Amino acid sequence: MLDNAMYLEKLINFKDNFSIKIITGMRGIGKTTLLLMFADTLKNSGVPSEEIIYINFEENEEITDFQKLYEFVNEKIIYMEQAYLLLDEIQRVKGWEKAINAFFVGSPVDIYIASSNFKILSEDFLNLLSDNYELIQMYPLSFNEYLNAIPDKKDEESNIKFYQYLKYGGLPIVTKLQEKLEIIPTLLLGMYHTILNKDIISINGVRDVSLLNSINKFLAINTGNPITPKIMELYLENIGQSTTIYTMDNYLQMINDAGLFYRISRYDIKTQAIINGSEKVYCADLGIRSLLLNFADDNIQVVLENIVCMELLRRGYKVYIGKIGKSNVNFVAFKNNKPVYIQVVYKLDNKTGIRKILYPLQRINDQYDKIIISMETPAITDYNGIKVFSIFDFINENI
């Protein structure tokens, strides 16, 4: 079984506290597995099976609205002193928020809900809950998790597996196909279309599927580049499609809500302010990005940035693109109100290149960590307090 120990520990720690546990993340990353593991944990701790109510709404087509959900669950728990409610892909139930609120305020249940669409975290729902919720955001596997999930792996294969990870990504199912790499593209294509159909098109009533696909390809091509409405508009015009800025922004939000791409805002380090209207995007899973590029991309610099961005998010950082004057810093990452400034570079192979990478970090006048991450093991690991890591050091180092 997949190692979801980190997420499972969070669920266990949140057990029986007065909150709704909300699990989100892109389809295919293991949310269902996590809920079933938690159900087994409850049983092993002595909770009777009848007090654990698990419903997967993609398998149960009879519960379609909040009234049916309330009646179904209420009938089971009406005489219970305590119950655990595990609801998978809850966004498929119309008005589900009403049933959840009713259970939360009036029933002896501990509630855990999972969804492949961040849209469930609506402002109205979160206002209804006030602070009575715990958010657990799941991501595709990190490289270390990917390695740990591969059966019968030899230590000397790690370098080969790293390049496979760059190409095929970190969806859990990929780890089971190490002897059948040729079928991974077909599997990823099926996953991509499932995400489109179930987590974007059906939820949002998308009519122009061709435009949606074109925007996803644009985001894959422009991963790590500044994204503006004008740049996107020119791309679409060049391939014979046109739309409005309003529609483009709506589609970007739908794609973000489905967990395919993450929109990363720009942050002015000097003024400590978020800059609106200029952002970058990074793909949740490198395999999906490779698919959108027909497995033809060889831009290691962008892939490294993508790995660093997703690893920071996975570790609980709030991530921004940095700006100081006219210079750029790849990432400014905050945790506990403390920033880390990060530059990502493929190679540090000449003095001019090193000076160019160091310059923005040297302009930042505070005491917080400033680091450079490179593909190769650096010859020099410290430039007057600016630390240098290889990508392998970084993914093994909890900064």
Determine the Cα angle at 28 with ends 25 and 31, to 5°: 55
- Region of poorest pLDDT, from 46-55, 153-162, 263-272, 381-390: 153-162
> Which residue is it, tokens 């991501």?
139
Which amino acid belongs to residue 248? M
Query: Across residues 67-83, what is the average pLDDT?
Result: 93
Taking the C-alpha atoms of residue 382 and residue 84, their distance in angstroms, rounded to an integer, is 51
Neighbour count for residue 375 (Cβ, 10 Å): 16
Query: Across residues 164-177, what is the average pLDDT?
Result: 93
Judged by DSSP in three states, 343 sits in strand
Q: Has this prediction a pTM greater than 0.95?
A: no
Q: What is the DSSP letter of 378?
A: P
Residues whose CB falls within 8 Å of the CB of residue 284, separated by 6 or more in sequence, listed in order:
26, 139, 140, 259, 260, 261, 262, 310
> Which residue is it, tokens 């092993």?
44
Give residue 351's Cα distance to chain centre: 36
Residue 384 — left, alpha, or beta (φ > 0 → left; ψ -120 to 50 → alpha)?
A: left
Contact 369, 340 (CB under 8 A): yes
Q: What is the pLDDT of residue 179?
A: 84
> Which residue is it, tokens 């398998």?
59
Each residue's pLDDT tens digit, 222-273: 999 999 888 999 999 999 998 999 999 999 999 999 999 999 999 999 999 9
Q: How confident is the model at residue 1 (pLDDT cuts 50, 70, 90)?
A: very low
Six-digit token string for 113: 């809900």
Taking the C-alpha atoms of residue 241 and residue 59, their distance in angstroms, rounded to an integer, is 37
Contact 304, 375 (CB under 8 A): yes
pLDDT higher than threshold 90 for residue 75: yes
> Which residue is it, tokens 């190409």?
167
Q: What is the DSSP letter of 142?
A: P
Q: What is the pLDDT of residue 125?
A: 77
Query: Across residues 211-220, what is the average pLDDT?
Result: 96
pLDDT higher than threshold 60 for residue 308: yes
Six-digit token string for 396: 């093994």
pLDDT higher than threshold 60 for residue 374: yes
Each residue's pLDDT tens digit, 185-209: 999 999 999 999 999 999 999 999 9
Each residue's pLDDT tens digit, 7-17: 999 999 999 99
Write the DSSP string, 154-189: -GGGHHHHHHHHHHH---GGGGGGTT-GGGHHHHHH
